[in-house]
Structure formats: structure tokens, C-alpha cells
Structure 1
């Protein structure tokens, strides 16, 4: 692991100290790494959802009725009607 020197706002430093004191984490470094991991996961999820939204927008509007769409979905999922 690489070592870093960072400056924290007082309230953030106090929050980190409290997390360690409450034994949520064994150290401030562990807490920071956890928060960065969660931020990265959140960013990955956001990118995935945005990709799905873009794909949907590119596909355009359907001319099918809701009944036709429902039948198509059931067929794709192999649902017995």
C-alpha cells in the first residue's frame, strides 16, 4: 500500500476519530479506504445505470400497444399465460 499525507477538515477528522473510537474501524486509514471503496462502487453503479438509460434513449419510442409489450415480455421470460 502506498502512504499518503492528507489534510482533513476538522469535522471530518473528528468523525473519523469517532468511528475508530466506536470500533467501526481499526484505524482512520481503514475508514478512509472503506469510504473510497464505497465511492468507487457508487460511481460504477451510476455509470452502469447511465449506460442503460442511454441505451434506452437510443432505442427510441415503441409503436406497440401495452398488451403487445406485455406479451413480448412474457415470451422473453418464458412465462406461462
Structure 2
């Protein structure tokens, strides 16, 4: 999958808080296409983190980011 297709899929998926699983599934697929094994760590129903490792030893690089967004719906006051 090329980077443009990846971004299109990420933008199209419902990624409002609580729907992280849909996002990490897309990213996991992208990594699998590159030969990188990744697995989910469920923190709550529908809320997953993605862990991927390349190589072993030191130095170690870790990257983290949010897989969810806030709703575009207006907040009731």
C-alpha cells in the first residue's frame, strides 16, 4: 500500500475516541505489507495500541502517537 492510500484509509475510518481498533488494523496491515510483525494490546473494548518491532538489540527507537480523534460533533453546553 502506498502512503497516499494509507492516509486516505486513515482519514476515512471512524477514529473517534473509543474506535482505535479500526485505526491500528489499518496500520498493522500497512506494516505487514512491509514485512513488519505487529500486534494489538487492548486497553479497553475497542481501544487498542499497536506494538511493532524491527530487529533487536540496541539502540532502541520507540514511537508513540494517538490513534483516535475527538468528535466533530458540537459539544452540548
TM-score (norm 2): 0.26
Please state which structure has a larger fraction of its residues in helix: 1
TM-score (norm 1): 0.25
Structure (1 or 2) with the larger CA radius of gyration: 1
